[in-house]
Amino acid sequence: MTYNKKSVEDIDVAGKKVLVRCDFNVPVKDGVITDDKRIVGAMKTIQYLVAQGAKVILCSHMGRPHNVLDAELKLDKKEKKKIEALPAEEQEAAKAAALEKGKKDITKLSLKIVADDLAKKGIPVTLAADVIGPDAQAKAAALKEGEVLLLENVRFHAAEEKNDPEFAKALASLAEIYVNDAFGTAHRAHGSTAGVADYLPAVCGYLIQKEIDVMGKALDDPQRPFVAILGGAKVSDKIGVINNLIEKVDTLIIGGGMAYTFFRAMGCSTGTSLCEEDKLDLARELLAKARAKGVNFLLPVDNIIAREYKEDATFMRIYSDSIPDGWMGLDIGEKTQELYSKSIAGAGTVVWNGPMGVSEWENFASGTKAVAKAVADSGAISIIGGGDSAAAVEQLGYADKMTHISTGGGASLEFLEGLELPGIACLLDK
């Protein structure tokens, strides 16, 4: 999928009310933002708009709140199911308690914490008490050039995730131009990520522009050899990505739990390793496709194995791709690390998504660390999908050495799959 979308620089924003969808879904612990990367990432677009004299209206979601700004507070499906499983006499009290908890979201998942953080970063922001309600409308109407307003959490309305046209229209009515800069939610067709573009001229911000430029170029016209590294738990989560990348890469490196489904498909024993029995045929198909396309398909040649899926499980290295009965593979071994690192060292472009083992646990993190180092040292154009691989790269201090660390895990996977992202497709073409 190639996108050539208009950006904030391609539209006259001076004096206009500009609605910007940001990704302010930051992690918060005990009332403190523990990682402000997403806020920092949004600043370039905001600062540009302020400098241009736009009247800036920011919006975002945070977490998974209840629909606290709707006339009637509803419980989500999961909560409803839980309550329905209780004895009849306990259901009323449980429902009341759940609704009470929902009301607390107003403070717990308010974007006030983001407004305060932006102010600390030199962008003074007024917070609206609602999203499309009277406070947002009044504050948006009163905005002066260069001022910034932040709307409340868009997911306080159930209509946001339903992409309800009335909600999108009401949101759009606050502004004259829409800017999407939330790559992390660009694969979702929600009111504030896509629906609103039906009513306003829509362009991308700098963050989305960089995501589509770097990843689009890698997929369409990569510097070769093009090496993709895919890891993580399941083949089933990455089928689309593997399928699409096989068409484009020179080498496909597989690690993590998904390697064992490929091994089983090839007739190797995998012990108690993660294995998706219902995906064996598919794994065979993918192997055959790689062979037919001349793709160098690399699987681990040695493994770190343990008897239990536990952080402190006793482990050992086996110099084999076969896992003994009663053991499970939890990381790639040293020989594999060397083999993979060599292949990465010669790459022109590297795309990496998913850890090589259970990287959350120190004893099974060395494969992921080795791959992170190899990518950092490679000098290749390096693109890191979000999630665990991005976290590993950041923790190890390699972030500056990567060409691009995607700000969206799910969105970057769908991009690599070649799928259309609704939050980008809805923007104006150049």
Residues in contact with ligand AMP by the rule CB under 6 A: 232-234, 237, 256-257, 274, 329-330, 354-355, 357-358, 360, 387-388
What end-to-end distance do the CA atoms of the chain give, in Å? Answer: 15
387 is catalytic: yes
Q: Which of 184, 387, 408, 423 is catalytic?
A: 387
410 is catalytic: yes
Tokens found for residue 356: 């090589």
Q: Which is nearer to ligand AMP, 3 or 327 (CB)?
A: 327
Instruction: List, as one string, the DSSP characters of 253-269.
Output: EE-STHHHHHHHHTT--
- What does the alpha-carbon distance between residue 418 and residue 218 come to, in Å, rounded to a whole number? 12
Q: Which of 44, 234, 289, 335 is catalytic?
A: 234
Q: Which is nearer to ligand AMP, 283 or 330 (CB)?
A: 330
Whether residue 16 contacts residue 52, with contact meaning beta carbons closer than 8 Å, is answered with no
Q: Which is nearer to ligand AMP, 387 or 408 (CB)?
A: 387
Question: In Å, what is the CA distance from 138 to each residue of 53, 124, 135, 194?
Answer: 20, 18, 5, 24
Tokens found for residue 267: 């007739």
Q: Which of 16, 17, 21, 38 is catalytic?
A: 38
Shortest reach from residue 304's CB to ligand AMP, in Å: 9
Instruction: List, as one string, the DSSP characters of 162-219.
Output: HT-HHHHHHHHTT-SEEEE--GGGTTS--TTTTGGGGTS-EEE-HHHHHHHHHHHHHH
Shortest reach from residue 412's CB to ligand AMP, in Å: 11
Please report how the helices 334-345 and 366-378 are oriented relative to each other, as an axis angle in degrees rounded to 10: 20
- What does the alpha-carbon distance between residue 128 and residue 130 come to, in Å, rounded to a whole number? 5
Shortest reach from residue 354's CB to ligand AMP, in Å: 4
Shortest reach from residue 392's CB to ligand AMP, in Å: 11
- What does the alpha-carbon distance between residue 148 and residue 125 come to, in Å, rounded to a whole number? 5
What pairing do the DSSP bridges indicate for beta strands 303-306 and 315-318?
Answer: antiparallel
Shortest reach from residue 41's CB to ligand AMP, in Å: 21
CA torsion angle for 248, 250, 253, 258 (degrees, to 10)? 40
> Which residue number places its CB atom closest to ligand AMP?
232
Q: Which is nearer to ligand AMP, 333 or 387 (CB)?
A: 387
Contacts made by residues 377-381, CB under 8 angstroms, sequence distance 24+: 377/345, 377/401, 378/344, 378/345, 378/347, 378/350, 380/223, 380/227, 380/344, 380/347, 380/348, 380/349, 380/350, 381/214, 381/218, 381/222, 381/223, 381/348, 381/349, 381/350
Shortest reach from residue 81's CB to ligand AMP, in Å: 24
Shortest reach from residue 116's CB to ligand AMP, in Å: 32
Shortest reach from residue 68's CB to ligand AMP, in Å: 30
Q: Which is nearer to ligand AMP, 153 or 412 (CB)?
A: 412
- DSSP, collapsed to helix, strand or coil, labels residue 98 as helix
348 is catalytic: no
Whether residue 17 contacts residue 213, with contact meaning beta carbons closer than 8 Å, is answered with no
Q: Which is nearer to ligand AMP, 272 or 378 (CB)?
A: 272
Q: Which is nearer to ligand AMP, 205 or 387 (CB)?
A: 387
Shortest reach from residue 317's CB to ligand AMP, in Å: 14
- What does the alpha-carbon distance between residue 164 and residue 190 come to, in Å, rounded to a whole number? 8
Q: Which is nearer to ligand AMP, 191 or 232 (CB)?
A: 232
Q: Which of 133, 216, 410, 418 is catalytic?
A: 410
234 is catalytic: yes
Tokens found for residue 338: 């060397």
- What does the alpha-carbon distance between residue 263 and residue 269 come to, in Å, rounded to a whole number? 7
What is the 8-class DSSP label of residue 75? -
Q: Which is nearer to ligand AMP, 205 or 357 (CB)?
A: 357
The catalytic residues are: 38, 234, 387, 410
